[in-house]
Amino acid sequence: MRFKGVVGVAGAVLAGLLVSSVILAYFPEQGLGQGNSDIWVMNLHGTLDATVVTRYFDQGGNPTDGPGASISPLGNASFPASSSGLADNWLGSMVLYSNRELASVAELHWRSLPVGDGWSGAAYAGYSEGGNELFFPGIAKTLFHRTIVTIQCVDTTDCDVSMTYRNLNGTTVAGSPFADTIYADAQESYDLHDPTLNPNIPTGLPTPWYGSLQVTSANKMAGVMVVHWARGYAAAYNPIVPGTDTVIYFPAVNRRNFTGDWTGPSDWQGLTVQNLNNSEITVHVEIYAWGGGAPVLDFYDDIPAYSVGLYNTRYGGSVDRSVFDALGDIFVGSAVVTCNMPIGGLSGGVRFPSWGMAAGYQAASSGSNRLVNPLVYRVKSGAKWLNYSTIAVQNLDPNNDVDVQVQFLNSNGTVGVGFPDTIPANSIAAYSTRYGGATYEPLGTSWAGSVVVTTDDPAGTITGVIASYTQGSGGYVYMTSNNLIQP
């Protein structure tokens, strides 16, 4: 039995993208550094061990067997690039085979960047299954942004893919659709800045250019989009697989302008809403403060066919920036976007002026009664925090509080810390292994494990996102972020 991705059935195959030790291509004037991918896997079975074996595929579809592991019930394990046995400058994909249901996260690391302390990172979730259509909104080609889209064929036969690029107003870029063939289990990457990576991209686009990409194939695909900032930031995003969802949820929305003029420490969020339809739609955006209650901000916006709506809490975007003044200067909350037609969404956040502080996640289209993530940190050396994680959980019920049980699990699956909590209607709760005080001290200061959040609500009314912070060698940090996984 074959299975690709984050969660699935016994006898499964789990796939990850962008497993690399390649030196990435250049910005117009500066490089991106050397990149590696480390894969973290969690056994979702509560009583039985999981046997996991790995296989790597280069871009020609050629397999190389990798290491294996036996993972305790609800335990986790890592498959770092340093243990893969792959040669330098290798680029490809990874597939994990297991007799149990799994969850997985890929951590991407870049070193030797020509800015800041030279460190950056991002993360994304693996896949339970592919799709025949993928949307990548928010692609940027500027002097300050670079977007690399990676598509993996997660089928038993090669994928003939068709790629349509669109401008922000939804018009099709000349030359679309662009065609390519991706070998079974292999991947191809596309960079508008660098046609030598793969020539099947539009040429002659202006700089700056912003838009989106729609990819279709008769066979199943998966993908990831990585955005690099010239300052050293990076964020990774899982693509949108079109469905019938008319409501999407953003568990983390920030607007914090600590100095009042955006020149000092600050962070902000960009919400991208993808119109998945060949006609104009109207979306209703509601933003809720921590604690719930009525929305602090709500507005409507029209999005052209196959276009995107951009809602940035600092810069505005598709609406005037003054719209977000209603959030004030110290805002942490969540958002709900509704429409009468199918939509999808991504969110990206930036923290200034820290080098490397950016993160992204995919908007959720539904809730669950169980959320997991295979990778949570609490690592400290003396007074210096090296790695820590914050989990944000959103209650999707607009009228009722939800009771949750939060468990931080050790790598062997045992409970390191557990506690109950209640999240108000239309609100979020956050759990930080650094700022949560004595609650998390039993985990120690050299800890990497997983987290499980559950509710007895049969409707499944929670979703969430996790952010992890890594200390760089020069005193800077980078942040990775991705969705909590719904088994």
User: Which of these, 478, 482, 449, lies nearest to 124 by C-alpha position?
Assistant: 482
- For position 92, what pLDDT does the model report? 86
Token pair for 328: 């004030």
- For position 207, what pLDDT does the model report? 93
Q: How far is residue 163's CA from residue 179's CA, in Å, rounded to a whole number?
A: 6
CATH fold, domain 12-237, is Hypothetical Protein Tm1070; Chain: A (2.60.290)
Please state the pTM of the whole predicted model: 0.93
- For position 30, what pLDDT does the model report? 41
* Tokens 């003396």, located at residue: 382
The correct answer on CATH 2.60.290.11 for the domain covering 370-483 is: yes
User: Which of these, 474, 481, 454, 282, lies nearest to 376 by C-alpha position?
Assistant: 481
Q: How far is residue 375's CA from residue 45's CA, in Å, rounded to a whole number?
A: 16
Q: How far is residue 234's CA from residue 314's CA, in Å, rounded to a whole number?
A: 19
* Tokens 């000349």, located at residue: 174
List Cα–Cα distances, 326 to 315, 322, 331, 345, in angstroms. Answer: 13, 8, 10, 22
Helix (H) or strand (E) holding 65, with range, is: strand 63-71
Q: Which CATH architecture does the domain made up of 247-338 adopt?
A: Sandwich (2.60)
DSSP state of 85: -
Beta-bridged to residue 91, according to DSSP, are: 20
Q: How far is residue 207's CA from residue 192's CA, in Å, rounded to a whole number?
A: 10
How many helices and strands in the chain, by DSSP H and E? 0, 32
- For position 111, what pLDDT does the model report? 77
**For every one of its 487 residues, what pLDDT tens digit does the chain have, with 9 covering 90 and above?**
222 332 222 234 444 554 443 333 333 334 455 778 899 999 999 999 999 999 999 889 999 999 999 999 999 999 998 888 888 888 888 888 899 999 999 998 887 777 777 778 899 998 878 899 999 998 999 998 899 999 999 999 999 999 999 999 999 999 999 999 999 999 999 999 989 889 999 999 999 999 999 999 999 999 999 998 888 888 999 999 999 999 999 999 999 999 999 988 899 999 999 999 999 999 999 999 999 999 999 999 999 999 999 999 999 999 999 999 999 999 999 999 999 999 999 999 988 876 668 889 999 999 999 999 999 999 999 999 999 999 999 999 999 999 999 999 999 999 999 999 999 999 999 999 999 999 999 999 999 999 999 999 887 899 999 999 998 655 567 888 989 998 8
Domain ranges in the chain are: 12-237, 247-338, 370-483
Q: How far is residue 375's CA from residue 78's CA, in Å, rounded to a whole number?
A: 9
DSSP letters along 193-223, please?
T-TTT-S-S--S--SSEEEEEEEEEEEEEEE
Number of other residues whose CB lies within 10 A of the CB of residue 170 = 17
Are domains 247-338 and 370-483 of this chain identical in fold? Answer: yes
Reading phi first (left if > 0) and then psi (alpha if -120 to 50, else beta), residue 66 is in beta
Name the CA radius of gyration of the chain, rounded. Answer: 21
- For position 119, what pLDDT does the model report? 77
